[in-house]
Structure formats: structure tokens, C-alpha cells
Structure 1
Amino acid sequence: MQKTVHSWKTLSLVEETIALPTGVVTHHTTVKHPGAVVILAQAPSGKLLLLNQFRPSIMTWFLEIPAGTLERYELPIVGAKRELEEETGYSAKTWTELGTLTPMAGFCNEVQHLYFAQDLSLTQRLQADKDEVIEVQEVSCDELLQWIQQDKITDAKTIATLSKALLRGLIN
């Protein structure tokens, strides 16, 4: 049995009765999410693009790399290209897939598709959503790592995407 308790934009809160692998039947509530994209982008300067974005959920400015929710039936690479341009004003010629993240598997089915974007060109098509307040910055990889160590950056998707790019030797 499945019941949608609430829907908002592309998200829904669903209660359902499920059977666990042990055979135990239980009730579980899941936030259904269409998926998201996360982009670590290297500017022409060699530095990485970072957003300083006001996040109303925590009522503070938050340092993170570009990311966004996929639109209905949108392929992840298409969403990544759209989000990079909307949030930073850049497009990229070279895209490298870095895998996926499941950030909140205990209560949400969101899968984040990670990308490394290079060969950027400024398009001036910065079109943040009405509810987004974003400042774009360029920072070195060393600065990014230092800010993570200092807890100036606490965003999990930023930390994980940077880690995957470093482990692959894409940046240094």
C-alpha cells in the first residue's frame, strides 16, 4: 500500500507498507525525488567555481559547487549543462562523469549524478531561479581543501565530488 501524504514542486512524501529482506512488514515514509546533478567546474583560470548561496532551510550562506534538481524525464548530462549555465553563466565543452551519490538513503530516494566540467566559456546566461541568491567565486583546489578542513565548507556533495575528482587525478 502506498499513499502520497504531500507533494511540492517535484518532490513528494510517500508512506508505504513494505516487506524487509527479513520478511518483516513495516511502514516506511520516503521523500521521492527526481534526482539531481552536481558539477565541479574548472574555470579558464584553472581555479574551481564555487557558489556562495543563501539557503533558507538553514538561514545562512552556504559554500557549495553548482548543483540542481533534474527536470521531469531530463537526462543527467542535459541537466548538468543547464544547471551550470543557469547558476554560473558558463558552459563547458568537456564533461567527465564522476559517478553518483545517494545522500539521504534513510528517508529519500534522491540520486545525485556527479560531473567534472572543463573548457568553460562565459555565456552570460546566468538565470538563477527566483528563490536563489547566488554569488559565483573562483577558488583554488588548495583553498577548497583548506575550507573543508576548517569547516567553512560542510556541503556533502561538494566534498564528495571534489574527492572523486582528486582520486581520479583530474585536479591537483
Structure 2
Amino acid sequence: MKLTEKTTHKESIYKGRIVDLNLHEVELPNGKTSKREIINHPGAVALIALTEEGKLLMVKQFRKALEKEIVEIPAGKLEAGENPEDTAIRELEEETGYKTSQLKKVISFYTSPGFADEIVHIFEANNLTKGRSSTDEDEFVEVMEVSLEEAEKMIETEEIHDAKTVFAVQYIRNRTAESSP
């Protein structure tokens, strides 16, 4: 049996500034039909940005969907026609005020493939120089420099509570463990 679903009808429910919502009627591998609610997102980048002291740059912000503040690695959505590397450089400076002369792609992953096509590209940024942040007019963040140990405690207390940031902390933990004798 081929594991695929053919869209037989698609209806646009909502077109927004960040996401679109579409309702797909699909034909299943067994010939039956079902409906799928699909969120389309342009994609995003996130940055594992390390200071000279080895601290992670983080931003604290209120997330309306969660109704709480959380601490995250800097991130932002791709603009139309923008490549992920350019987005990463732009978002790092906008959110934290830092610039980087060393950007390395770490991984890309889908955030919620059961209902969304959003892909996040994670980059590591080193050789940072401090400048001035310039967040969007509706974006309010507090920039933080956090040690690995502090970040791990923040995961336990759910101050860090999103997958990309948990991934970043584990990535740094693994890299630190690999470089230890």
C-alpha cells in the first residue's frame, strides 16, 4: 500500500499575515475520504548564538498562544524570497542587537507535521559583536545571556518551554560533552 493522500478539494479558510489555513478533502490509501486542516507557514529560522563567554543569547517574550512569558533562542519567520541565512543574520540583529561573522547551519526540522508545513532552520552564530536591537513595533523582548546550566534549569521550570530552544540547549550540552576529555 502506498502511503499518500491525494487532495481532491481545497478550500481557503483564512489568509493571515503569518499563516494561512486551508481545508483539504483527501482520498486515503484505502480509497475512503477524509478532511485535513492544514496551516501553511513561510518557514522560520532560529539561532544558537554564543557569546565569547560561552553563554547563549536568549529572548524573553510573552507568547499569546500560551498566555505566558517564555525564554527562547532568537528566531523569526522567512520573508518572501529571503533565504534562511539572510533571515538568520537579520533576526539576530533585530532581536538581540548582535551581529555575527560566523554562521553555520545546524539542522532544519518541521515543527508540527500533523497539521502544519512550517520548517525551522537552526543556525549556530559565533564571533558576535554587540550593536543595537531594532525589534518590530509589535514585538517586545528582553535579551538575556544564559549559561548552559541556567538554561537547563529553565527547562525544568518551564521558563524555556518550546522545542527549538530545548533542542538548542541539548545541542550545546552534547557538543560540550563531546569536547570534554
TM-score w.r.t. length of structure 2 = 0.86
Structure 1: how far apart are the matches of 2:10 and 2:134?
A: 37
Superposed counterparts of 1:3-152, under 5 Å: 3-124=11-132, 126-152=133-159
Kindly state the Cα deviation for residue 24 of structure 1 after the two structures are TM-superposed: 3.4
Q: How far did 1:168 drift?
A: 4.4
**Which fold has the larger relative contact order, with Cα–Cα distance below 8 Å and residues 6 or more apart in sequence?**
1
What residue ranges of structure 1 are gaps of 5+ in the alignment? none
Q: Render the CA deviation track for 1:31-88: whole Å, top value 9, x for unaligned.
A: 1000010111002332110111122223322111101111012111111111111000
Amino acid at match of 2:156: Q
Unaligned runs of 5+ in 2: 1-8
Task: Give the conservation status (yes or no) of the 8 Å contact 2:59–2:144.
Answer: yes
CA shift for structure 1 position 167:
3.2
Change (3 A) 1:142 1:26: same
Q: Per the alignment, in what secondary structure is the counterpart of residue 148 of structure 1?
A: helix
Root-mean-square deviation (CA, aligned residues, Å) is: 1.9
Tell me if structure 1 keeps the 8 A contact 2:148–2:173.
no
